[in-house]
Amino acid sequence: MNVENLSIRVVAEPDLDAILRIEEGCYPLPWSFQQFVQELENPVASLFVCEVENEIVGYICYWLIADEMQILNLAIAPKFRRKGVAAQLMTQAFSRCLPEHLSSVWLEVRAANQAAIALYQRHGFKQSGIRKAYYRDGEDAIVMVKTLKNQ
């Protein structure tokens, strides 16, 4: 995949079926259709999809609150992983931070998701804590934070 074939745009409700297919292929306890609809209606939420040749291959959902960004969900279709899609989605999200004068970005990631943890570390996130039994199945969450330099 060439980066020039990649485009990022705001999510619309007709995108949710494709997003749900990715979600269900990525997570043991996926978000529901209704959870995505709620985020589309949430005034602090932003949702973007990444498309390659008109196919939705990934998405990001984050909140902008006060001086922080919280990444709630980031998922990439399996055949498009390790091709820069997640990096492009995060770059788009971080670019929104500059005009908002945000101080930090944080997220939770499953403790067993070593690929995601490594991705976040490559993008400047550091572990700041653990939420014990955070997920419905009892798995711990690693809390990761990235401090922004635009202050």
Q: pLDDT (tens digit, 9 = 90+) per residue, 29-60?
A: 899 999 999 999 999 999 999 999 889 999 99
What domain count does the chain have? 1
CATH number reported for the structural domain that contains residue 58 in this entry: 3.40.630.30
Q: pTM above 0.85?
A: yes
Nearest CA to 86 among 57, 64, 109?
Answer: 57
Residue owning tokens 């939705």: 56
Answer for the pair 103, 76: CB distance below 8 angstroms, yes or no. no
Q: How far is CA 100 from the centre of its chain?
A: 18
Q: Residues 15, 119, 81, 20: is their CA dihedral positive or negative?
A: negative
CA-to-CA distance for 134 and 108, rounded, in angstroms? 9
Do 107 and 125 meet the contact criterion of CB atoms below 8 Å apart?
yes
- Which has the closest alpha carbon to 106: 115, 93, 75, 28? 93
Could you tell me the residue range of the domain that residue 31 belongs to?
A: 3-147
pLDDT tens-digit map of 76-122? 999 999 888 999 999 888 887 666 678 889 999 999 999 999 999 99
